Amino acid sequence: MSKVKVYHNPRCGKSRNSLKLVQEQVDDGEIEIVKYLENPPSAEELKSILAMLGIKAEELIRKNEKTWKENFKGKSFTEEELVEIMVENPILIERPIVVKGDKAVIGRPPENVQEIL
């Protein structure tokens, strides 16, 4: 069984609910919790997650965040630039992301995580 990695923001209700679902179905020793605001994923890690999710970088960005609205809204960026923006501003990364093996889901709604458990 492969470990389940949860990119988690403890202040987010959806993230807490998704983590709870994972904890109910997976042994603690098989769960890796990444507090991504403290430990942002690298550009390579983000690209890997995007590939597993099957989405573009723009679809992983939280566009209602103040940081996005004040600094990036209305501007055009390449895929590479968007990845770098998320690495430098992890608050913009949609949450939570749950990864198991070569599959990933966004826990919005939290029930989505059951797809890969």
Distance between CA atoms of 31 and 16, rounded to whole angstroms?
14
The Cα diameter of the chain in Å comes to 44
Q: Which residues pair with 93 in a beta bridge?
A: 61
Residue 100 vs residues 7, 10, 32, 89: alpha-carbon distances, Å: 12, 20, 10, 24
The two three-digit tokens of residue 63, written as one number: 């566009």
Respond yes or no: is residue 12 known to be catalytic.
yes
Phi then psi dihedrals of residue 105, to 5 deg: -140, 155
Q: Among 5, 7, 10, 12, which one carries the catalytic annotation?
A: 12
Catalytic residues, by residue number, are 12
